Amino acid sequence: MSRIGRAPIAIPAGVKLKIEGAHLHVEGPKGKLSIVVPQTLSVAQDQQQLKVARQGDEAAQRALHGLYRALINNMVQGVVHGFSKELEIVGVGYRAQLQGKQLSLSVGFSHPVVIDIPSGITVEVPKPTTIIVKGFDKQQVGQFAANLRRVAPPEPYKGKGIKYANEMIRRKAGKAATGSGAKAAG
């Protein structure tokens, strides 16, 4: 059996669960989330725990068992604590600015890139070179952070661009670092 799938999900105080057939609704202090559980899985509430079980032992069912247990656990954690991703902007003159429900990025283009912030997501810009994306839906937070990073991904020579706070950028040596081709041209 899946180690992740068979682990029970603890339900903290203040979280309401409603199981309606294949639909699972989770409501907490930060918001509401819902998911449709496949027919091959069943979700049962036992006091302050939630258990996900599978009906068979086929490969597809085993894969979905751990996946849906993790998704449901992320929903419970999200409505209680929330999730956040921190991005850093590297480059001379590169900066971010919050303008109401829009985020303006100056990242080396001839114009600032303006991105609408979706509902359910909050964005903070504590410094012009730091962006913090927060929300209660882990998938939505991660997707919005990835969309921001996609505007100007970090390049390998100088490291300029938008990167995650804990991301290591593999750097490459430039043309000047090779040294052998400089005198051969003459």
pLDDT at 97 over 60: yes
* pTM as predicted: 0.87
The total number of residues written for the chain in this structure: 186
pLDDT at 130 over 60: yes
Quote the CA–CA distance of 169 and 97 in Å, as a whole number: 24
> Greater confidence, 41 or 178?
41
Neighbours of 115 (CB within 10 A): 15
- Of the candidates 105, 109, 92, 90, the residue with the CA atom closest to the CA atom of residue 156: 90
Quote the CA–CA distance of 175 and 157 in Å, as a whole number: 10
Strand order in the sheet with 83-90: 121-127, 130-135, 83-90, 161-164
Task: Give the pLDDT score at 46.
Answer: 87
| Domains and their CATH numbers in the chain | 3-80 (3.90.930.12), 83-164 (3.90.930.12)
Q: Regarding beta strands 83-90 and 130-135, do their DSSP bridges make them parallel or antiparallel, or are they unpaired?
A: antiparallel
Structure token digits, residue 68: 């849906």
pLDDT band of residue 3 (cuts 50, 70, 90) is confident
Tens of pLDDT, residues 61-85: 888 999 999 999 999 999 999 999 9
